[in-house]
Amino acid sequence: MLDQRLVRDNPEIIASQLGRRGKAVDLTKLQLIAQQQRNLEEQRSGLQAEGNRIGKEVGLQIKSGTDPKSEDIANLRKQGNAIKQKVSVLEDEEKLLSSQLKDQLLTFPNLPADDCPDGTSENDNVEVRRWGTPREEEGLEEHWLIAERLKLIDTERSVRIAQSRFVTLMGQGARLERGLINFMLDLHTKKGYREVLPPVLVNTASLTGSGQLPKFAEESFRCAEDDLWLTPTAEVPVTSLHRDEIIPSDQLPLRYAAYSPCFRREAGSYGRDTRGLIRLHQFNKVELYWFAHPDHSEEAHQQITADAEAVLQALELPYRVLDLCTADLGFSARRTYDLEVWLPGAGAYREISSCSVCGDFQARRSAIRTKEGKSTKLVHTLNGSGLAVGRTMAALLETGQQPDGRVRLPSALVPYVGCELLQPE
């Protein structure tokens, strides 16, 4: 959430920065609400101070011998009661304005970092680097053909169980998925991440704190009878691990690696990637998440990106890194590096991880602070997929496919799957 002081004192900064995202906003009414709310706050504070002074005066006079039933004491108490009534009225007005202000601010995305590339579409994303040599040959199959031929997935029965865009992993496919999850978690925990297995169901406050609500309500699955939603990413529950907390500065950064099933409606994406493992309503993911000191969030962004890249390198999967332009940033992000893995069968790079620094955007929504001495400040949060498991499987199948129809696995994964080759069962 954006700092309401910016709305009140420097709305032109917000308008300019959101303009870089391609969003035109008129903050005149919102600035007026923020100013009125601040004025009410100042009036209330002044009255409360006067009420406290009168209360102390009553106590001092009674202590010095004045009759508690005297006219002077009665007048002071009358003044104090009148102030309390005024404070109560101001508090109600202030809460109303504060609620209106917060409701509006929750709909605004984060402001892009100054060094985030400007752009109007994903075509303006900037390639930073590449790793590995993409496999480019004629006649390579796409991953769903390989998976169906090796009987790794059963799509037809999945539709019977649920609906389209769900898959059931079978035999070697299920073992490969499980092996990938364990491989990723082991790799990250060896680097110092603390493993987390969070709830799959999350409440509205958790989704709001991470920035998913109210923006992405239509893309989320909700339990109608409860204030619970199926989590779209482990970023949501991990953000709320420290909601409404003060983290001592000497404990920062806190680094978590969280495995979770993820659920998304994928609203607006119908007709895209309707086959295979790229765009599903349910998928598994290992998420990397940092709570960082604000002075070190930029270097943390470089590190969390490198940690996600390390998975692709260990699995011998060629990829490229893109610095997303302002128009392609996610709602909560200040700056994002996308990792795109090479899919030889498709002959294209496809996103497999987004590593984002969110500044204090999520921390303000979730009231997560750090303390140094007597002063407190909001922490910075960062997140990145480390990695999306289904998309990693897709890349492995296409990259490792052999002329005889089998699939060779990278050596680092063999101990987790129990074989070097996937073959017809």
Q: Which of 354, 356, 366, 385 is catalytic?
A: 354
Would residue 218 show up in a list of annotated catalytic residues for this protein? no
Q: Give yes or no: 264 in active site.
A: yes
Q: What is the CA radius of gyration of the chain?
A: 27
Active-site choice (20, 21, 44, 264): 264
Q: Which of 38, 351, 408, 420 is catalytic?
A: 351
- Whether 351 is a known active-site residue: answer yes
Prior bond to 253 cis, omega within 30?
Answer: yes
d(CA 301, CA 358): 10
Q: Confirm whether 406 is a catalytic residue.
A: no
The first and second tokens of residue 173, run together, are: 């496919």
Q: Is 282 exposed, middle or buried (0-12, 13-18, 19+ CB in 10 A)?
A: middle
Q: CA 361, 304, 400, 324: dihedral to nearest 10 degrees?
A: 50
Structure tokens at 123: 């075509």
Q: How far apart are CA 405 and CA 140, in angstroms?
A: 10
Whether 135 is a known active-site residue: answer: no
Q: Which of the following is catalytic: 287, 369, 391, 398? A: 391
Spot the catalytic one: 279, 334, 335, 369.
279
In terms of C-beta distances under 8 Å and separation of at least 24 residues, what long-range contacts does 129-132 make, across chains too?
129/320, 129/321, 130/318, 130/319, 130/320, 130/321, 131/309, 131/312, 131/313, 131/318, 131/319, 131/320, 132/312, 132/313, 132/316, 132/317, 132/318, 132/319, 132/342
Catalytically active residues are: 264, 279, 351, 354, 391
